[in-house]
Amino acid sequence: MIAAVFISDLHLHPEEKQITKRFFDFVKWAAKNSRAVYILGDFFHVWPGDDALDAWSISIAEQLAWLASQGVSIYFMHGNRDFLLGQRFAQLANIRLLEEPAVIKLGVERVLLVHGDRYCTKDVRHQWLRRLTRNRIFPKLFLRIPFKIRNKFVNKVRAYSQSGRQLPSWQFEVVSDSMLEHMKQLNVKVVIHGHIHKPGLNIHEYQGKSYSQFVLSDWDDKPVLVCYDNSNGFYFDLIAEEE
């Protein structure tokens, strides 16, 4: 049995039926194979607030609640797309909200969990928006805006992101020194994050010590999971999609 499975950047949306199916397949797989699932942000493509709950998003929450009913603990960390997801959805889905950054212990290892965008420090505009949206006051103020206006705004953001415009690659680069200094401050040797959609393991040497960076994939094709069990430690895995 896998002690912990880490995923991020599903970008779930009712129009993305194949990704929704992949998620449903994952839920079945996780129920049989894992004890805990950590969702590290951008679970939804956009989320204008918990008053956006409709039949489709409720079906997603019900999948998570069913997974939790099978004895799987589910933890959710906000990303830059779903930072407005709140307690109403969390209670419906039976998930626990995680503050970023979070440090957990797996075996003897202290592990840092973040969405990942905090380390893309070359993108000054995104960092400004991140500071704004992660301020505890901003969500409360933004959620006072009528839902129709909020929903129109987030759908414009989605349309813009799907317009085919290629953003410069540097906007998605993790600045290693920023990440490694953060890891050093928190006394961790392992970080797991998403956001940049470049799955893999990167080993860094910093000030005489070795640090491991596990990067999660998006779900546009075959999602790459990061798993941990006591026998094998950390490793990458794929889930088999059902026909």
List binding-site positions for substrate: 80-81, 123, 161, 195
Token pair for 107: 């075996």
- Cβ(80)–Cβ(195) under 8 Å? yes
- Binding-site residues for Mn(2+) sit at 9, 11, 42, 80, 115, 195, 197
- What burial letters (b/e) apply to 198-232, b meaning 16+ CB within 10 Å? ebeeeeeeeeeeebbbbbbbbbeeebbbbbbbeee
- Binding-site residues sit at 9, 11, 42, 80-81, 115, 123, 161, 195, 197
E strand segments, the chain = 4-7, 36-40, 73-77, 96-98, 102-106, 109-113, 190-193, 200-206, 209-215, 225-229, 233-237
First and final C-alpha spacing in the chain? 24
Would you tell me how many other CB atoms lie within 10 Å of the CB of residue 186? 12
Would you tell me how many other CB atoms lie within 10 Å of the CB of residue 113? 23
Token pair for 139: 């969500």
